[in-house]
Structure 1
Amino acid sequence: MLESGFHAIPKGHLATVVTHLQMTAHPALSEVAAPADLTLVEHQRFALEPYRKLFRAVGEDYLWFSRLNMPDDALTAILTDPNYKVFSLQKDGVDLALLELDFRQPDECELAFFGLHADLIGQGAGRYLMTRACEIAWSRPINRFHVHTCTLDSAQALNFYIRSGFAPHKQEVEIAPDPRLTGQIRPDAAPQIPLID
């Protein structure tokens, strides 16, 4: 446990506050139509190169790095697990949003990844995708649907999850090497987050 006060972050690392949220019943969300020209697609076998391209496209501005350094066999095992569901929103065959639902733990579902390409923000795509996520998650016999977000994510993310029916229940501090310094993400990504080497 961290004591009250300031704590030095190791050089070349980032610190973020992670908020864990959950819901224990299907929320009463209004029906939302798919934005024009967007189609929800389930990927039974998402090839690693296009998957990582989409992961980077929606997450690089928030320093998502976990899938970028994961060994290919480990990532393939996750993406092809029958209890792990991967979806995207496509426009003209191009993936522009990512939704991953993890049912590998009995009686629960984790909203493992949820992100939109910058071109979709403000068009209702996020609300549509969350509505579909809740429908898919609660179509299974689960007792809990959970997600976590952090202070590196979009400033709108936490309130969006709360408005969607998730309730915060725990916080943690995560420290990790800055992926802009390890070469996983380009050095000029996420200019809103100071790069301190």
Structure 2
Amino acid sequence: MILPDGYSDVPAGKIAAVVTHLEMTARLALRPDPPGAWTLRRVETPGFDWFRDLYCRVGEKWLWFSRLRMADADLAAIIHSPQVEVYALVQDGRDEGLLELDFREPGQCELAFFGVTAKLIGSGAGSWLMNRALERAWSRQVARVWVHTCTLDHPSALAFYQRAGFRPFRRQVEVADDPRLDGTLPRSAARHVPMIE
């Protein structure tokens, strides 16, 4: 369905975001690694509690909610798939970043989830993690690596992906139940997005 030009109402209890999909169709030279004491740890079979905790610590401020609403079996079908790789960025022995690479679609890799905790934003950790993501994504026989971001995300996210070499190819509007109103996320999450009950 194509939305009409002009304003479209979003019902109370809902959130709306403009989603931009970006892709990279050739392996590019990586940007220089920023200085930092980070390591990358692959988590072969992520535990649900571990995954949801890190997912929240990285994404709560940006209203990441989709994985929190999944039943364990549905989440396991993704993060325990042999075609999905889950990594943690580690600083000082603590997991502070999440990277999920999804190779389930032949010939491509989706950066399904990518981000660092609030305390690492602006430290260079995101750039370092992107370099590791692209190294691993292009280590397989893929013709395309893609990611999406939205207007609920960090204000610099879209520019960050473009600096890494991704190019926009699609835009969508996503409407969903506000995850703060049903208890999926705390009401204090994403203060930059007003709740309309």
In the superposition, the TM-score normalised over structure 2's length comes to 0.97
What whole-Å deviation, never above 9, does each CA across 1:12-62 have from its counterpart, x for those lacking one?
0001000000010012123416622x2100000110001100000000000
Cα distance between partner residues in 2 of 1:122 and 1:148: 20
Matches within 5 A, 1:17-32: 17-32=18-33
2:137 matches 1:165: no
How far the C-alpha of 1:76 sits from its partner, in A, is 1.2
- Change over 3 Å in CA distance of 1:48–1:34 after alignment to 2: farther
Alpha-carbon contact 2:21-2:169 (below 8 Å) kept: yes
Contact 2:100/2:111 (<8 A) preserved: yes
Distance 2:94 2:69 in 1: 24
Cα RMSD between the aligned structures? 1.0
1:5 Cα deviation after fit: 1.2
> Which residue number corresponds to residue 6 of structure 1?
7
Query: Where do 1:17-166 residues align within 5 Å?
Result: 17-32=18-33, 35-36=36-37, 38-166=38-166
- 2:58 corresponds to which letter in structure 1? V
> Taking structure 1 as the reference length, what is the TM-score of the superposition?
0.97
Q: Write the letter of the residue equivalent to 2:151.
A: T
For 2:6 and 2:91, locate their aligned partners in 1 and report how far apart those are by CA, in whole Å. 48
Distance in 2, matches of 1:13 and 1:182, equals: 11
Distance 1:126 1:170 in 2: 23
Q: Aligned residue for 1:177?
A: 177
Return the offset for 1:92. Answer: 3.4
Matched residue count: 196
* Distance of 2:121 and 2:183 partners within structure 1: 27
Matched residues, percent identical? 51
* Offset from partner CA, 1:112-133 (integer Å, 9 cap, x none): 0001101111111001000111
Please state whether the residue corresponding to 1:174 is helix, strand or coil. Answer: strand
Give the distance between the partners of 2:42 and 2:108, measured in 1 at CA: 20
Q: Which consecutive aligned stretches of 4+ in structure 1 deviate over 3 angstroms post-superposition?
A: none
Please say if residues 31 and 164 of structure 2, whose CA atoms lie closer than 8 Å, have aligned partners that are also in contact.
no
Q: Distance in 2 between matches of 1:45 and 1:93?
A: 19
Would the alpha carbon gap of residues 5 and 33 (structure 1) be closer, same or farther in structure 2, given more than 3 Å must change?
closer
Deviation at 1:93, TM superposition (A): 2.9
